Amino acid sequence: MRHQKISMLLLLLLILPPASSWAWQGKVVDISNGDAITVLHDGKEEKVFLYGINCPRQRQNFGPESKNFTSQMVTGRIVEVKPMLVDSSGRTIVIVSVDGMSLNEELVKAGLASVLVQYCRDTSCPMWIRNQEEAQIKKIGLWSNENPTPPSEFRRENKPLENTLPNSSSPKQTSEEVHGDIVTHVFHSPGCRNYDCPNCIAHFKSRNQALRAGYKPCGECNP
């Protein structure tokens, strides 16, 4: 009986795929931002977003440099894509590797991305945080400014003025895009200070769509 159990365990080990088999490979065909790329997956283009980090957008200092860094590292290359989670909008959040190097980590080392310390939970995250601290000490990239602003904070601070001034005489709009926090499952409207929070990566076309997805309205901005 004991030998039969051992044989069954060995058979299961041969049948079950290793955890790394969840990763897939594809050719990078487009770069949207430093942390958003499009990869061919099973013959179709799939846009993916880098896990655990934020890169500056084009309007922020080092936004173009961040995009250019990613482009030089992976455009036209075959990369390994390791899915970490899928948000409620169906966006795939991933770790991307090429030639054994993590794109996520290399962006941080170059000072062209900030680590989402609060939400980064992968075993690689402690190393990325150390990489960021080293970049800050060397004052490279984002951290070369006298008062550096992480990308997530920059987006919150540079919202259009009209989105920050509520008009009490107008009825509440229900068709504007709202952003949901995938951890707390709370959604925020434009103008809310939490609209572009680090984990607000679930985007809904309307308030009703967010409610149908099981998200709750923010008690502060009352979307």
**Residues 195-222: pLDDT tens digits?**
888 888 888 788 887 787 777 888 777 7
Last residue of a domain, one of 121, 149, 177: 149
What digits encode the pLDDT tens for the residues 168-201?
A: 333 343 457 888 887 788 888 887 888 888 888 8
Q: Are 65 and 144 in contact (CB under 8 A)?
A: no
What digits encode the pLDDT tens for the residues 123-137?
A: 999 999 999 999 999
Q: What angle do CA 197, 201, 205 make, to 5 degrees?
A: 110
Residue 130's domain comprises 19-149
Query: In CATH, what number is assigned to the domain containing residue 184?
Result: 3.40.10
| Residue 135 DSSP SS3 | helix
What digits encode the pLDDT tens for the residues 38-75?
A: 999 999 999 999 999 999 988 888 999 999 999 999 99
Rounded to whole angstroms, how far apart are CA atoms 143 and 132?
A: 9
Rounded to whole angstroms, how far apart are CA atoms 102 and 50?
A: 10
pTM above 0.75, yes or no: no
- Identify each DSSP E strand in the chain by its residue range: 24-33, 36-41, 44-50, 53-54, 78-86, 92-98, 101-102, 114-115, 178-180, 186-188, 202-204, 216-217
Residue-level pLDDT at 36: 96
Last residue of a domain, one of 109, 126, 149: 149
The conformational region for residue 192 under phi > 0 = left, psi -120 to 50 = alpha, else beta, is beta
Residue-level pLDDT at 173: 39
Residue 189: name the closest of 201, 171, 207 by CA. Answer: 207
Residues 141 and 183 in one domain: no
Q: 14: part of which helix (H) or strand (E)?
A: helix 2-15
Q: What percent of the chain clears pLDDT 70, i.e. is strictly above it?
A: 80
Last residue of a domain, one of 109, 124, 149: 149
